[in-house]
Structure 1
Amino acid sequence: MKRKPTLILPVLVATISAIVIGCGGGSSSHSSNPVTIQKANGYYNVTLDYANTTHREMGRQLALAINNAMPDYAKTVDEALAIQMAYLELAPIQPPLKFEDIVKRAKALYDNPAFYRDYKDEIEGMQTVFNSDVDKFGDGILSKNELLVFQLFPDVMRPYSCSASAAFGNASASGKTILGRNLDWVSDLDESAAKLHSLTAFKNGSKTVANFGILGQLAGVSIFNTSRVFGAILDADLGVPYPTTAELASRRSYIFDLRYALENFSTLNGVSNFMGDSNHLYAYNHLVFVADQTSAGALENQVNNPTGFTGNRRLRTDTSTLQPLPGDQTWGILGAFATVNDYRLVGNFFTDQRYNTSRWTSYKSKYAGVLTGQKVDVNTMKAIAGYPAGTGEMDQGAIFVSEPPKLISPNATYIPYSVPGATGNEEVPPYTTIQSIIVDMATMEFWAHFVPPKSSVTSGVYPPREATYQKIPNPIY
């Protein structure tokens, strides 16, 4: 008789759990709860279990679970899209960009036969819940087209800056790779991001991966697999015009390709080779930061070349021969690696933008001790990834970026950083490091800083000038 309460309790807990985080939402022949969403300290911990469900049903159940966990989700994403679109509309591009142009971009990438069917099914499953046919910002509703654009955000709206670095081998205190990866967004999106931080585990047998990113997004942003390979996206703006809709018919989504690569390849080189395949053309120039237990590097994916360049889509490492640049822009630190938002390999176009060169100088300075035998541990990496350079400004060398929102002026003209037709008088959008992730590849332990909502900041400085790291449980180990 004494054992009966111990049987009742698990049943009660399971029942409560199903009510709180179960997906529900209608009958299905599939597992009723393939999705769990738990609110953690500043982020959502999401688990997608594919054992007994289809990709389409997973998408539907994810959307239902999100609405249960965050009732204002559609409103928050709608606002974020509106802010990013406002910046794009003010770029010196003729004719001015409209949201319908962004939808055309997204649909062109989505309709490419190379876009994997499983991912389409997940998006279409979500669209059965976010199913409005009306695209209207400010209505608090997430339409089918708005959801599609949101899924392809970096491919079609390009809000990212970012940087990353790593120490490995003799430069690492553990002998294994320790990395820091910063995700930088336009600062006006800080409040939206603060509500949407997530760590999503895609549990699918040998294809299991987990991704630090934004709640509900299905692509790879800062993603890792069970083989201890890590991959992350970085922007690389060369001022090359965005491909036409006709050209996009043969282009792929680099963020969904990154998810595929981490799901299907167990080595750093496998991921890099897939993303750098000459047959894989993408809409935007970008970099893919990759790391495993013994090394790190960045694939310089210069796919849209400025006049006079053929591109050199290769993996840059600590031993690569770089372009002849001034001393503070060289590297030469074996066992350490860093990347900002530019290309450094011979044959690629170097943009010489201050926001890149200043951060590169900061990284080189922070890793200089490796040359005299110093070792990088997790705390050292936190100091590197969390370096604010006093002002928090990229142009001043901040790695941890905290530039205040500008609250878009209707009379201003903004540039992503460089676009054709820019006069040099345009304003550059401010950026914030919305997520800073530290990984010890020896143990697969994680620490993360998530930009908080402004209401929680008591210092009066927003976004925060200092990173606040918390240890994050690894959901797939």
Structure 2
Amino acid sequence: MKKNRFFPILAAAALTLSAAAGCGRSGYDDFTFPEQGPSTLRPVSDIYIDNHYEGTAPTKERTVKTVKSDDGLCVIECKDSYFDVTLDYEKGTPQQVGAAYGKTILLAYPDYSEMCEGYLYENIKAAFSHLNGDYSGIKKRSDAFYSALPEDYRQELDGFAGAISGDSEGFTEDGIISCDEAKLLQFIPDVLRNTACSALSANGNATASGERITARLLEWQLGTENQICKAHTLVHMKNGEKSFTSLSYLGFLTILTAVNNDGVMLGELDVGSGYMVKYTCENKTSYTYGMRYALENFTTAREAAEYLTENAYSYPYSVNVIATDKNEALVAELFTVRDDQKPEPSDDPDEEEIQIIGAPLIRDSSSELHRQYTWEDSNYICAVNCFVTADNLRGIDRDENNLIRWQRYKQLFCGKKDITIDRFKELMTCESTDNDLDRIRSDGLVHMFIADYSTETMQAVLTGADGVEDSPEFIDLGSWK
């Protein structure tokens, strides 16, 4: 284990002060304090602001224009701040629907290829700084996840990639989305991974309506020009009993945040594993497509969480998945490291030992938590970018930001009763963005999604091109039914 050098440093400092005091100085009456600038310290209370949503309904945006594919399988309503997309799998094959989506995107957003490709390469370069134009490793990863998809998903993606790219292939920054780039677009979380996220769910014992409220914050790279904020998209996958609604970005066919027609809501939160184990895509599958399968095939949050947990060792990264429905809120802690992937102990006494202990499991409000992550109110369940159960010690002390956000949620919500949807929104947005401390709403917030189970409706804050706002507007996204 790494040696603790804190005490020797204090001891040395004490000796130095003692020596200075014994070198002829009898006091400090003649000492002049140097001039200093004003303190930059701020009281903790200064980081909070008052937002008022009581009695204010979320904004229902107008439709600026509507575009449709020739076969009617894709309809895109262009709203003021997002695209509302309906994909009809009841009247077409997956390949036909994918192709219709690709073609219609170019009608709704003519500059899509240039915007999307630029954003994609920013993600690549943020994840890998020394590729020097060699994207063969990226392609290998993307192809591996594509090959592991079920046939329907592959056909859908083939249709989309062919329509959006024409004849373009490979990885070249030329302002054109190639077939390969269109496929990688779907696997950013699996190949390049996510950034910070959080979630909170309140059950009916804590809410004024007696029904659940769930919030999920997606934090990602907005792009150097906040370009992803120009592509917010609500996608309605119309497919009988497999139907669901997904909040993501234009062209993304899998899951970031979504609710199915039974009210099962899923959202993933990256946990991290890069510094602990060697990444591999061999014999791995996409966890975001795993979430999509769960939404299409299960009617309760527990069934969805159990499916993901059972398949956790097939996923490339460790993640949390918030899973809620009308009756239950769970966090699937998808620990993905098998015993043969754990690093060998180091012989270097000064090298910090990394202890990897854990297993895929489902956390509920009664689960025993790690001693650092205490929680006092079983009516709420919280998730950040780390595992917090007592048996999962993975990245638990690696990022103080996780603990800070956890404590902030605890301070804001634990003990609150009869909370209305409007008061819930006020608490979720009460931190000032002019705040040097780590906070719930970072400057990488893409969207804040809220599912209100009393009305079976969705609303969201969608970060605009100007970035995160102190007092954001909530947008009415309609019902998940």
TM-score, length of structure 2 as denominator length: 0.79
Specify the alignment match of 1:343 in structure 2: 387
Report the AA paired with residue 252 of structure 1: T
- 1:375 maps to a residue whose letter is D
Amino acid in the other structure paired with 2:111: D
Report the CA distance between 1:155 and its aligned residue.
Answer: 0.7
- Structure 2 partner of 1:413: none
Equivalent residue, structure 2, for 1:443: 455
For the pair 1:323 / 2:370, whether they are aligned, the reply is yes
Assess if the C-alpha contact under 8 Å between 1:319 and 1:332 holds in 2.
Answer: no
SS at structure 2 position matched to 1:179: strand
**Shift of residue 189, structure 1, vs aligned partner:** 5.3
Specify which of 198, 214, 226 is matched with residue 261 of structure 2. Answer: 226
Spell out the pairing of 1:166-245 with structure 2 (5 A cutoff). Answer: 166-188=201-223, 191-240=226-275
Residues of 2 paired with 1:61 and 1:281: CA distance?
A: 31
- Larger CA Rg, structure 1 vs 2: 2
DSSP 3-state at the match of 1:102: helix
Q: 2:299 aligns with which of 266, 283, 298?
A: 266
Alignment partner of 1:470 out of 471, 475, 479: 475
Are the counterparts in 2 of residues 318 and 332 from structure 1 also a CA contact under 8 Å?
no
Q: Which residue of 1 aligns with 2:427?
A: 384
1:304 to 331, 337, 352: 337
Q: Distance in 2 between matches of 1:390 and 1:76?
A: 27
Change (3 A) 1:339 1:249: same
Deviations along 1:192-217, one digit per CA (max 9) or x if unpaired, are 21111000000000101110001111
How far 1:367 sits from its partner (Å)? 1.1
Identity value in percent: 25
Match of 1:53 among 92, 102, 110: 92
| Whole-Å separation in 1 of the counterparts to 2:188 and 2:473 | 26
Closer, same or farther in 2 for the Cα pair 1:339/1:292, shift >3 Å? Answer: same
Aligned to 1:458: none
Counterpart-to-counterpart distance in 2, 1:132 and 1:363 = 49
RMSD: 2.2
Residue 358 (structure 1) aligns with: 404
Amino acid of the structure 1 residue aligned with 2:308: M
User: Structure 1 unaligned runs (5+)?
Assistant: 1-16, 25-31, 403-431, 455-461
Which residue matches 1:14? none
Q: Does 1:70 align with 2:109?
A: yes
Q: Distance in 1 between matches of 2:262 and 2:194?
A: 30
How far apart are the structure 1 equivalents of 2:172 and 2:470?
A: 31
Q: Which structure 2 residues correspond to residues 280-295 of structure 1 after superposition, within 5 A?
A: 280-295=313-328
Q: Structure 1's 216 and 202: CA in aligned 2 closer, same or farther, altered over 3 A?
A: same
1:398 partnered with 2:433: no
CA contact (8 A) 2:144 2:282 kept: yes
How many Å separate the matches in 1 of 2:433 and 2:229?
Answer: 23
Q: Distance in 1 between matches of 2:210 and 2:265?
A: 17
Change (3 A) 1:205 1:240: same
Partner of 1:420: none
Matching residue within 329, 332, 349 for 2:376: 332
Residues 153-196 of structure 1: CA deviation (Å, up to 9, x unaligned):
11111133211001003112211110111110124356221111
Structure 1 length as normaliser, TM-score?
Answer: 0.79
Q: Which amino acid aligns with 1:465?
A: D
Residues 64-83 of structure 1 deviation map (CA, whole Å, 9 limit, x = unaligned): 01011111111111010121
- Equivalent AA in structure 2 for residue 111 of structure 1: S
Partner of 1:314: 361
Residue type of the alignment partner of 2:371: P
Distance in 2 of aligned mates of 1:20 and 1:436: 25
SS state at 2:237 partner: strand
Query: For residue 158 of structure 2, what is the amino acid of its counterpart?
Result: E
CA offset at residue 335 of structure 1?
0.6
Query: Which amino acid is 1:77 matched to?
Result: C
Q: Which stretch of the first structure deviates more once superposed, 55-64 or 128-137?
A: 128-137
Aligned in 2, Cα 1:137/1:249: closer, same or farther, shift over 3 Å?
same
Q: How does 1:91-170 map to 2 (within 5 A)?
A: 98-112=134-148, 115-129=149-163, 130-170=165-205
Whether the 8 Å contact between 2:366 and 2:378 is mirrored in structure 1 is yes
Deviation of 1:132 after TM superposition, in Å, equals: 3.9
Q: In 2, Cα distance between the equivalents of 1:278 and 1:440?
A: 29
CA contact (8 A) 1:392 1:401 kept: no
- Aligned AA for 1:384? L
- C-alpha distance in structure 1 between counterparts of 2:172 and 2:381, whole Å: 41
Instruction: Give the Cα–Cα distance (whole angstroms) in 2 for the partners of residues 20 and 227 of structure 1.
Output: 28
In the TM superposition, 1:412-451 aligns within 5 A as: 432-451=444-463
How far did 1:337 drift? 0.9
Cα separation, 1, equivalents of 2:401 and 2:134: 28
Cα distance, 1:242–1:147 mapped onto 2, change above 3 Å: farther
Unaligned runs of 5+ in 2: 1-62, 344-354
Cα distance in 1 for partners of 2:413, 2:268 equals 22
Q: Distance in 2 between matches of 1:378 and 1:442?
A: 9
Do the aligned partners of residues 259 and 133 (structure 1) sit closer, same or farther apart at CA in structure 2, a change above 3 Å counting? same
1:86 Cα deviation (Å)? Answer: 2.0
Name the SS for the 2:220 alignment partner: strand
Deviation string, structure 1 residues 307-344 (Cα, Å, up to 9, x no partner): 5434221111221101122xxx3112111011110011
Query: What does residue 34 of structure 1 align with?
Result: 73
| Corresponding position of 1:251 | 284
Deviation sequence 1:33-63 (CA, Å, 0-9, x none): 1110001131000001112210001110110
Moved more, 465-474 or 148-157: 465-474
For residues 361-407 of structure 1, the C-alpha deviation after alignment (integer angstroms, 9 at most, x for no partner) is 1100011333xxx22221122123324355355xx2411112xxxxx
Q: Which amino acid aligns with 1:354?
A: E
Deviation at 1:137, TM superposition (A): 4.6
Q: 1:107 to 1:384 in 2, by over 3 A?
A: farther
Amino acid at match of 2:180: N
Tell me, in whole angstroms, the C-alpha distance in 2 between the residues paired with 1:102 and 1:133.
Answer: 17
Deviation at residue 87 of structure 1 after TM alignment? 1.3
